[in-house]
Structure formats: structure tokens, C-alpha cells
């Protein structure tokens, strides 16, 4: 080889020079903040920060294909009320909003529904809440508008007294309500008694202030939660309610 033909002193000089370049580089190179040392002792750029995208579900969680298909295409705000069981009066409620990335959940609110639970075929006096998907178009109450953008009927007609199924006072239950568009004419006061399906199919199904016990057919939320719902509901989003026991909603 050509190296073997070099004089010994010249070969030693070259080897020392090469070693000096590597050593000098190792001594003078400073690691930039955030840089990670390589196995060779040099430096490489810090890895790019991981970006976590807010991935929202495209379909509302807990709903089966049949229930999902009932949600109006232009609806981008849904109050989902999920009952604990078919014959239970205890539920949870969550307000969802849809954006380009999917459905985003709000706070989980405790709720009540009808005394005997849920039904697919509600009739007057059955003490069950109707399962289904219904629009939310109108509000009202005994007290003034707390800030909702829905049409709001402030009226003494929302007065109520007496006691509920567990002996709790009903006073204040209708301080604020949102009419559920089951067997009613949308665009009218919650107090309107028009019943398109006939009086035998019941009506007057509202979201209203919770009185601490089961309802006759409505959904109820604690007062602060009811006010928060009223302020959040946006008519431009074509709001709707999806309501029923968990098993029914998975259909």
C-alpha cells in the first residue's frame, strides 16, 4: 500500500494531525440547548415537539346507527340525556357541539326523567319520558330570561305548586324551561297546548329546573345547570335533544 512507503516520521506526523482534528472538534463543540448527544459525541437537533390534535368523534358516543340517523343533518348542537335504565328516573345530560373536527362534549350534568323511566310510545299519564330525537326551539319561564337566544316567554302561566313523587316541593320547577318538540308546534310558547299527535299522546314535555325527584315526563336539571344550558343553546346551530335509556340510544 502507498502508506507503507512513507517514511516512518512522516506517517507518524500525519496520524497525529488526524487525531488532533478529531480531538479539537470534540473539545470545542458546544451542545446547543435542547440538542441531544450522538453516540459519536457530537450533537443533533432536538426532536420536533409532539403535537396532540384534538380528535373529536364523528358520531355522538353512545348512539347506535338508528338513533344517529334521526339527528337532523343541520343540527350542530345536541343535548344528550342518557337514562340509567329503562325503568329508572335518574339520567345524565351532556351538551355536545359539532365542529369540522367532530362532536365536542360539555360538562356532564346530573338529571332526572319520568318516575317510571322511558318509553318508545309515550301516552298521557304513563309517567314515562318519550325516547327519541326532538328539536329545541322555544323557552320560557316564571322568571325572566337568563340570557338565552331562544325565543323566551316570560309568563305567570309557569307557576307551579304542590309536591313531587318523593314529597319534594315543586315550586320553582318552571322558573326556566325549554320546550322539547314532542307532540307540540315548534315556534310557539311552551305553554301552547296544540297537540299534532292528539291529546292522548301527551305533551308539555320540557327541560326544566330540577325539584329533587322524578318528573311526570320531562327532563330536569339543577337550576345553575339549567341556566347554563339556556345561555349555551344557539338557535343558529339547530339544537336538538337526544333522550332515552342507554340501551335504547344504542339502537
Considering only residues 69 and 35, tell me which one the structure prediction assigns the higher pLDDT.
69
182 phi and psi, to 5 degrees?
-100, 120
Considering only residues 2 and 237, tell me which one the structure prediction assigns the higher pLDDT.
237
pLDDT of res. 58? 82
The C-alpha R_g of the chain, in whole angstroms, comes to: 33
**What is the bridge-based pairing of β-strands 102-112 and 240-245?**
unpaired
Please check whether residue 145 is in contact with residue 177, taking contact to mean a CB–CB distance below 8 angstroms: no
pLDDT at residue 31 tops 60: no
pLDDT at residue 178 tops 90: yes
- CA-CA distance, 90 to 211, in Å (whole number)? 13
**pLDDT per position as a tens digit, 134-156:** 999 999 999 999 999 999 999 99
pLDDT of res. 111? 98
pLDDT at residue 80 tops 60: yes
pLDDT of res. 56? 62
pLDDT at residue 23 tops 50: no
pLDDT of res. 151? 98
Average model confidence (pLDDT) across the chain: 85
Task: Give the predicted TM-score (pTM) of the model.
Answer: 0.78
Amino acid at each position: 500500500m502507498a502508506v507503507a512507503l512513507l517514511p516512518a516520521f512522516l506517517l507518524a506526523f500525519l496520524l497525529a494531525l488526524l487525531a488532533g482534528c478529531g480531538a479539537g472538534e470534540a473539545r470545542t463543540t458546544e451542545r446547543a440547548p435542547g440538542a441531544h448527544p450522538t453516540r459519536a459525541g457530537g450533537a443533533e437537533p432536538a426532536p420536533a415537539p409532539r403535537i396532540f390534535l384534538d380528535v373529536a368523534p364523528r358520531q355522538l358516543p353512545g348512539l347506535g346507527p338508528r338513533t344517529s340517523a334521526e339527528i337532523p343533518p343541520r343540527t350542530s348542537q345536541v343535548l344528550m340525556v342518557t337514562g340509567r335504565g329503562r325503568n329508572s328516573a335518574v339520567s345524565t345530560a351532556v351538551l355536545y357541539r359539532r365542529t369540522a373536527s367532530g362532536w365536542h362534549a360539555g360538562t356532564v350534568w346530573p338529571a332526572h326523567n319520568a318516575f317510571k323511566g322511558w318509553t318508545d310510545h309515550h301516552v298521557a299519564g304513563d309517567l314515562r319520558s318519550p325516547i327519541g330525537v326532538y328539536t329545541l326551539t322555544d323557552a320560557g319561564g316564571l322568571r325572566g330570561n337568563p340570557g338565552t337566544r331562544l325565543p323566551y316567554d316570560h309568563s305567570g302561566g309557569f307557576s307551579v305548586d304542590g309536591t313531587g313523587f318523593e314529597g319534594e316541593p315543586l315550586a320553582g320547577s318552571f322558573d326556566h324551561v325549554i320546550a322539547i318538540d314532542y307532540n307540540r308546534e315548534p315556534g310557539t310558547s311552551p305553554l301552547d297546548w296544540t297537540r299534532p299527535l292528539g291529546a292522548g299522546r301527551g305533551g308539555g314535555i320540557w327541560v326544566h329546573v330540577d325539584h329533587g325527584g322524578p318528573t311526570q315526563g320531562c327532563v330536569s336539571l339543577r337550576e345553575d345547570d339549567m341556566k347554563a344550558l339556556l345561555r349555551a343553546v344557539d338557535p343558529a346551530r339547530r339544537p336538538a335533544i337526544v333522550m332515552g335509556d342507554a340501551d335504547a340510544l344504542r339502537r
